[in-house]
């Protein structure tokens, strides 16, 4: 690089003739795309001084200005430097000075003073040494042009420049941002870091506030440690600066117009954040430590997983704070937080992200170890999932439970390297310098608001105790803990600093400690900015306590259904459809006018239209949700001429609810977690996630296990999310047949969620409407069909939509003589139609077919009603397509037993138990299918 830049420089020095044209051409190319010129030239152009002080003006800079600038470098060098040096030498040194500046911007963080314990040994970066660039002690006294370095005047003595660079880039802040390709962003960060040399000029009040934060953080942990020795609290000690940092972030955000902040964090430091930021009463926490609990309904959760909500006063007005409930999984809460933020932003109609801000707090091992972090970064700028950027804080205590970072935790230089995939700036900061911490906190908020992108703060700290307080960390980290034992606390270090600089007296510092301890003794909220929560966002009261009550009324007059049917079938003529899609819409017109019975896609779309007409919001994501994996939905229509999109569902009424149907990123875990977060913050409308194939939901198993199925019981958080999981044995092999129904059924208890297998278009219509109209907000898991989407028997009439409701059980539909029936077959889903067709074909009159459309909660009364006329029957069968160890057989048979007559037998007709969900050979599949149908029908 260095030879290259020298050559280029020397060749173009004094920019005349051909050389100036050459440089101009390159500069033009650089303006269009900085990556199009070689790195040597990028350094030179990046370092051109700002015209009129703002980087935005740079692209408009006239070429003559560039030429003039290069000339001035040489001139200044001659005037201010040694008159004996030649032009070429001055030019060469000047370029090296620019390189030195650049080296600090790029690599200063690698030699920054980041580790409070000073055990993180890093190689010296030679490019940060002036000698590396050929700049010697004589040069130190010379004036050089400082290019775009935003401190001091246009020129500086090299000695001063080096000092300024070291202070800015190698002090307590290691700013990593030169991986960002956008020049404006880089310049913006430089403008924030360089003028003040990476430090703020804090007033006494600011400094006192920062110390108060450290005082509270330490005071709280010491108090808990003394009062409940040995109890697990996952102490923050060592990372105490998190508390003043959070306060600065919230202050800054509130000042800039943020109304809500949603926080996600794992257990480390959580109790401290709960008490010292969110204002949870210490007395409540102490009660929890003492084992008392007030929650008589749910299972509750350990105290360091609890969420909390409050309001917090800032100079810009009150900010609502919500700390998300969190399972033990360290990172999965991040997409949940993002979903919650997106729901709040959508409700507020804010698409910049300004009004609601996410903060996620990570551990250093987890942020680099857990794939969900990558997924969440990947979502951060996409249409369906963006939230205007998030503030991501790493509490980097340099140890993973007992695992050493150096060899065993990661393969990257920093734990935060993953953030570079979205070009997020990363501010590493020494947690023992709380002013630097406060400075980056403010910088991060401003960056997020300015660029609507993620930003990372890597709070480099340590962990004073073991992973928890019962642990003995010296067993595995002897040297680190020998050092920690001797290391003063962050509060002590900062208090001593403020005393030494005469900002505070030692008596004031001591009083602060005592006052805080007294406040904890008092048990009341210790956060002076705490304000009682106001109803700022959404009222959950209509939904809280709403139970399994089927007395809701979701019926719509038939005229209204017909009107909506016309609306969803209309496509402007100018919007040219692909021929297969055009055929589907032609059929829809026929369905709307009553010429055809309704198919699945039509009824499903009608359900959405009816919800929107009620002014409620709908959000659907999934990998192919616009079209539908199986080509049935076509809610987003792509114009074949210009690729524009048209959504009939957005055009059903002048005033209607908003609808977003967006194809998601190719992930299940983060998307489902996001939608869970969305649905737990948005009770009014319908939030729906569709899997491409149902079995892929297992990539999101943690979300299903730890949030969806148990969130209400653990945390009292309701969630009306609907999951559409394509399921059905169509001979597609082990991977695309089963949505693993058995897994969901196994998680069902306490009426925690609904598991449905609708078999007709009318059923899917009513099921979706019920999910919104009924005030109960619990997850709905749907085994949704594939071949039934186009099955000639799976059709419904407009009347069935208008007059019916969701049937948890569908009894026999053919007119059988009940007294001739000697076998009743229960089944769910598509196998029903195969049984029906075969029975009709064989002319059987002795087998009745009963569809269980809702497997959980099992509808005992409706099942009993459907069976009433078969009380004489002794032979009952459950028929399923899945292998015997899968499907509903094991989890639901006790329900079937409970509704059949006393003395009757229940047997199984289905595939044999199998390790794989389905076979891959079409012939074998067909043979198995035939055999299970025969067995169910006694053929």
Q: Given the rule CB under 6 A, which residues bind ligand AMP? A: 309, 322, 537, 540, 544, 680, 717-719
Prior bond to 480 cis, omega within 30? Answer: no
Pick between residue 544 and residue 926 the one whose CB is nearest to ligand AMP.
544
Q: How far is the CB of 146 from ligand AMP (least distance, A)?
A: 48
Pick between residue 633 and residue 774 the one whose CB is nearest to ligand AMP.
774
Pick between residue 544 and residue 645 the one whose CB is nearest to ligand AMP.
544
Q: How far is the CB of 719 from ligand AMP (least distance, A)?
A: 6
Cα–Cα distances (Å) from 915 to 282, 573, 884, 918, 926, in that order, read 52, 52, 10, 9, 19
Tokens of 193: 């870091």
Pick between residue 479 and residue 544 the one whose CB is nearest to ligand AMP.
544
Q: How far is the CB of 445 from ligand AMP (least distance, A)?
A: 20
Q: How far is the CB of 310 from ligand AMP (least distance, A)?
A: 8
Q: How far is the CB of 296 from ligand AMP (least distance, A)?
A: 17
State the Cα–Cα distance between residues 185 and 174, nearest whole angstrom.
Answer: 17
Tokens of 871: 């009380």
Q: How far is the CB of 340 from ligand AMP (least distance, A)?
A: 7
Pick between residue 204 and residue 536 the one whose CB is nearest to ligand AMP.
536
Pick between residue 343 and residue 932 the one whose CB is nearest to ligand AMP.
343
Q: How far is the CB of 305 from ligand AMP (least distance, A)?
A: 15
Pick between residue 319 and residue 747 the one whose CB is nearest to ligand AMP.
319
Tokens of 169: 């880039």
Q: How far is the CB of 545 from ligand AMP (least distance, A)?
A: 10
Pick between residue 246 and residue 816 the one whose CB is nearest to ligand AMP.
246
Closest residue by Cα to residue 807 from 758, 761, 737: 758
Pick between residue 718 and residue 789 the one whose CB is nearest to ligand AMP.
718
Tokens of 191: 């403008």
Tokens of 583: 């055929």
CB-based contact 155:76 (threshold 8 Å): yes
Q: How far is the CB of 284 from ligand AMP (least distance, A)?
A: 14
Within 13 Å and on the Cβ side, how many CA atoms surround 689? 34
Q: How far is the CB of 711 from ligand AMP (least distance, A)?
A: 8
Question: Going edge to edge, which strands form the sheet with 356-363?
Answer: 173-176, 426-430, 455-460, 391-396, 356-363, 260-265, 317-323, 308-314, 530-531
CB-based contact 312:529 (threshold 8 Å): yes
Pick between residue 680 and residue 706 the one whose CB is nearest to ligand AMP.
680
Q: How far is the CB of 273 from ligand AMP (least distance, A)?
A: 14
Pick between residue 263 and residue 443 the one whose CB is nearest to ligand AMP.
263
State the Cα–Cα distance between residues 814 and 37, nearest whole angstrom.
Answer: 76
Cα–Cα distances (Å) from 30 to 101, 426, 820, 903, 931, in that order, read 20, 25, 86, 85, 70
Q: How far is the CB of 324 from ligand AMP (least distance, A)?
A: 8
CB contact set of 874 (below 8 Å; sequence gap of 6+)? 822, 901, 903, 904, 905
Pick between residue 776 and residue 906 the one whose CB is nearest to ligand AMP.
776
Pick between residue 132 and residue 540 the one whose CB is nearest to ligand AMP.
540
Pick between residue 540 and residue 646 the one whose CB is nearest to ligand AMP.
540
Residue 879, H or E segment = strand 875-883
Residues constituting the chain: 939
Q: How far is the CB of 657 from ligand AMP (least distance, A)?
A: 20
Pick between residue 546 and residue 581 the one whose CB is nearest to ligand AMP.
546
Q: How far is the CB of 898 from ligand AMP (least distance, A)?
A: 31
State the Cα–Cα distance between residues 223 and 226, nearest whole angstrom.
Answer: 5
Q: How far is the CB of 321 from ligand AMP (least distance, A)?
A: 7
Tokens of 185: 């962003």
Q: How far is the CB of 698 from ligand AMP (least distance, A)?
A: 25
Tokens of 257: 């117009």
Q: Across-strand partners of 620?
A: 661, 688
Q: How far is the CB of 708 from ligand AMP (least distance, A)?
A: 12
CB-based contact 601:581 (threshold 8 Å): no
Q: How far is the CB of 543 from ligand AMP (least distance, A)?
A: 7
State the Cα–Cα distance between residues 867 and 848, nearest whole angstrom.
Answer: 10
SS3 of 537-558? CCCCCCCCCCCCCCCCCCCCCH
**CB neighbourhood size of 903 (10 A):** 6
Residue 502, sorted as left (phi over 0), alpha (psi -120 to 50) or beta, turns out to be left
Pick between residue 174 and residue 711 the one whose CB is nearest to ligand AMP.
711
Pick between residue 53 and residue 545 the one whose CB is nearest to ligand AMP.
545
Tokens of 888: 């509903």
Cα–Cα distances (Å) from 186 to 45, 237, 360, 419, 421, in that order, read 13, 34, 24, 16, 16
Helix (H, G, I), strand (E, B) or coil at 725: strand
Pick between residue 280 and residue 633 the one whose CB is nearest to ligand AMP.
280
CB-based contact 818:759 (threshold 8 Å): no
DSSP line for 350-400 = -SSSTTEEEEEEEEHHHHHH-HHHHHHHHHTTSTTT--S--EEEEEE-SEE
Q: Residue number with the shortest CB distance to ligand AMP?
A: 309
State the Cα–Cα distance between residues 939 and 842, nearest whole angstrom.
Answer: 9
State the Cα–Cα distance between residues 820 and 839, nearest whole angstrom.
Answer: 14
**CB neighbourhood size of 924 (10 A):** 12
CB-based contact 809:851 (threshold 8 Å): yes
């Amino acid at each position: 690089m260095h030879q290259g830049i020298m050559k280029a420089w020397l060749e173009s020095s004094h920019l005349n003739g051909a050389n100036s044209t050459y440089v101009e051409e390159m500069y033009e190319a650089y303006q269009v795309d900085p990556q199009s010129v070689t790195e040597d030239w990028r350094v030179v152009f990046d370092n051109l001084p700002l015209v009129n002080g703002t980087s935005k003006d740079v692209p408009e800079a006239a070429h003559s200005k560039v030429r003039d600038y290069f000339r001035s470098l040489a001139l200044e060098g001659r005037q201010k430097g040694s008159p004996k040096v030649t032009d070429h030498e001055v030019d060469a040194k000047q370029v090296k000075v620019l390189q030195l500046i650049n080296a600090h911007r790029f690599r200063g963080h690698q030699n920054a003073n980041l580790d409070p314990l000073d055990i993180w040994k890093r190689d010296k970066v030679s490019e940060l040494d002036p000698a590396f660039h050929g700049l010697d002690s004589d040069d130190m006294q010379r004036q050089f042009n400082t290019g775009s370095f935003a401190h001091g005047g246009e020129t500086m003595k090299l000695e001063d420049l080096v000092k300024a660079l070291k202070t800015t880039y190698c002090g307590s802040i290691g700013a990593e941002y030169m991986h960002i390709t956008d020049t404006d962003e880089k310049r913006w960060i430089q403008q924030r870091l360089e003028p003040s040399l990476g430090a703020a000029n804090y007033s006494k009040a600011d400094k006192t506030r920062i110390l108060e934060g450290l005082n509270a953080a330490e005071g709280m942990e010491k108090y808990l440690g003394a009062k409940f020795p040995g109890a697990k609290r996952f102490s923050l000690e060592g990372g105490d600066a998190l508390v003043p940092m959070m306060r600065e972030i919230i202050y800054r955000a509130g000042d800039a117009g943020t109304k809500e902040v949603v926080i996600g964090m794992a257990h480390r430091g959580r109790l401290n954040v709960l008490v010292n930021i969110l204002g949870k009463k210490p007395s409540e926490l102490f009660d929890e430590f003492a084992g008392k609990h007030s929650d008589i309904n749910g299972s509750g959760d350990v105290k360091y997983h609890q969420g909390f909500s409050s309001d917090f006063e800032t100079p810009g007005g009150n900010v609502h704070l919500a700390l998300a409930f969190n399972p033990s999984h360290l990172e999965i809460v991040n997409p949940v937080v993002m979903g919650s933020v997106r729901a709040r932003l959508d409700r507020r109609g804010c698409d910049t992200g300004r009004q609601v801000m996410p903060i996620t707090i990570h551990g250093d091992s987890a942020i680099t170890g857990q794939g969900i972090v990558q997924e969440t970064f990947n979502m951060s700028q996409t249409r369906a999932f963006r939230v205007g950027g998030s503030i991501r804080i790493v509490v980097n205590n340099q140890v993973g439970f007992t695992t050493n970072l150096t060899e065993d935790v990661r393969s990257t230089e920093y734990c935060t390297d993953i953030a570079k995939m979205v070009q997020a700036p990363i501010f590493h900061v020494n947690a023992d310098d709380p002013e630097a911490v406060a400075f980056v906190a403010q910088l991060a908020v401003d960056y997020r608001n300015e660029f609507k992108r993620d930003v990372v703060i890597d709070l480099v700290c340590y962990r004073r105790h073991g992973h928890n307080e019962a642990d003995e960390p010296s067993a595995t980290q002897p040297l680190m803990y020998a050092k920690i034992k001797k290391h003063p606390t962050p509060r002590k270090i900062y208090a001593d600093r403020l005393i030494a600089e005469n900002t505070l007296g030692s008596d004031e510092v001591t009083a602060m400690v005592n006052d805080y301890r007294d406040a904890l003794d008092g048990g009341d909220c210790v956060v002076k900015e705490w304000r009682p929560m106001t109803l700022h966002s959404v009222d959950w009261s209509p939904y809280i306590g709403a139970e399994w009550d089927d007395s809701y009324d979701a019926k719509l007059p038939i005229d209204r259904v017909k009107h909506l049917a016309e609306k969803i079938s209309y496509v402007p003529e100018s919007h040219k459809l692909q021929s297969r899609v055009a055929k589907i819409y032609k059929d829809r017109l026929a369905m709307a006018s009553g010429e055809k019975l309704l198919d699945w896609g039509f009824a499903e779309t009608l359900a959405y239209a009816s919800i929107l007409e009620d002014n409620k919001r709908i959000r659907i994501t999934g990998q192919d949700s616009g079209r539908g994996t199986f080509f049935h939905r076509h809610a987003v229509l792509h114009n074949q001429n210009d690729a524009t999109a048209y959504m009939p569902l957005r055009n059903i009424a002048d005033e209607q609810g908003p609808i977003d149907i967006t194809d998601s990123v190719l992930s299940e875990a983060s998307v489902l977690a996001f939608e869970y977060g969305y649905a737990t913050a948005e009770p009014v409308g319908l939030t729906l996630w569709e899997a491409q194939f149902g079995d892929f939901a297992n990539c999101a198993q943690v979300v299903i296990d730890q949030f969806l199925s148990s969130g209400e019981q653990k945390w009292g958080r309701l969630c009306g999310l609907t999951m559409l999981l394509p399921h059905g044995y169509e001979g597609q092999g082990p991977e695309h047949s089963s949505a693993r129904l058995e897994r969901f059924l196994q998680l069902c208890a306490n009426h925690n969620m609904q598991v449905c297998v609708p078999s007709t278009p009318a059923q899917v219509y009513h099921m979706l409407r019920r999910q919104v109209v009924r005030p109960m907000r619990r997850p709905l898991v749907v085994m949704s069909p594939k071949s039934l989407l186009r099955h000639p028997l799976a059709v419904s009439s407009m009347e069935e939509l208008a007059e019916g409701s969701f049937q948890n059980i569908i009894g026999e539909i053919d007119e059988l003589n009940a007294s001739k029936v000697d076998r009743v077959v229960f089944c769910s889903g598509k196998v029903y139609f195969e049984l029906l067709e075969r029975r009709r074909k064989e002319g059987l009159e002795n087998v009745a077919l009963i569809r269980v459309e809702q497997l959980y909660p099992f509808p005992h009364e409706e099942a009993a009603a459907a069976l009433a006329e078969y009380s004489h029957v002794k032979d009952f069968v459950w028929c399923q397509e899945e292998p015997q160890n899968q499907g509903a057989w094991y989890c639901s048979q006790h329900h079937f037993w409970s509704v059949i007559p006393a003395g009757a037998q229940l047997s199984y007709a289905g595939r044999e138990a199998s390790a794989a969900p389905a076979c891959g050979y079409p012939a074998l599949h067909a043979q198995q299918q035939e055999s299970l149908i025969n067995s169910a029908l006694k053929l």
